[in-house]
C-alpha cells in the first residue's frame, strides 16, 4: 500500500514539474455572456463583418489597461446582407 501511495505521489509531483515548465502564451481568452466587463485599452484586431450576411463567428483581440493581451470569440450579425431595410 505504501508503494502505491509513493508511486502516486511521485506521479503527481512529476506532472506538476512538467506543467510548470510548459510555456504560457500570456493570452487571456475571455468568456462571452451578458454583462461581461471588458477592460479595452487598445484594439489589436477584429473580424471584418462588412461582407458577411447572417450570424457569424467573430473575434476581438485587444490589450487591457495593464498591457495584457485578450481574445474574445463571439457571434455577431453580419452587415453585408443586400436585402436588409
CATH number at residue 71: 2.30.140.50
Query: Are 44 and 68 a contacting pair, CB within 8 Å?
Result: no
pLDDT of residue 75: 92
d(CA 76, CA 66): 27
Query: Are 83 and 68 a contacting pair, CB within 8 Å?
Result: no
Please indicate, yes or no, if residue 53 is contained in any of the structural domains: yes
Please indicate, yes or no, if residue 36 is contained in any of the structural domains: yes
- Residue by residue, pLDDT tens for the chain (85 residues) are 454 444 545 555 544 444 444 445 788 888 877 777 889 999 999 999 999 999 999 999 999 999 999 999 999 998 888 875 5
Q: How many domains does the chain have?
A: 1
Please indicate, yes or no, if residue 84 is contained in any of the structural domains: yes
Q: Is the pTM of this model over 0.75?
A: no
**Exposure b/e, 32-50, CB count within 10 A at least 16 = b:** eeeeeeeeeeeeeeebeee
Please indicate, yes or no, if residue 34 is contained in any of the structural domains: yes
79: domain range? 25-85
pLDDT of residue 23: 45
Please indicate, yes or no, if residue 4 is contained in any of the structural domains: no
Amino acid at each position: 500500500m505504501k508503494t502505491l501511495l509513493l508511486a502516486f505521489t511521485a506521479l503527481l509531483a512529476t506532472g506538476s514539474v512538467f506543467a510548470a515548465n510548459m510555456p504560457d502564451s500570456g493570452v487571456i481568452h475571455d468568456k462571452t455572456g451578458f454583462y461581461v466587463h471588458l477592460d479595452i485599452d487598445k484594439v489589436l484586431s477584429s473580424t471584418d463583418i462588412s461582407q458577411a450576411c447572417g450570424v457569424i463567428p467573430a473575434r476581438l483581440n485587444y490589450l487591457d489597461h495593464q498591457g495584457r493581451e485578450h481574445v474574445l470569440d463571439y457571434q455577431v450579425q453580419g452587415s453585408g446582407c443586400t436585402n436588409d431595410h
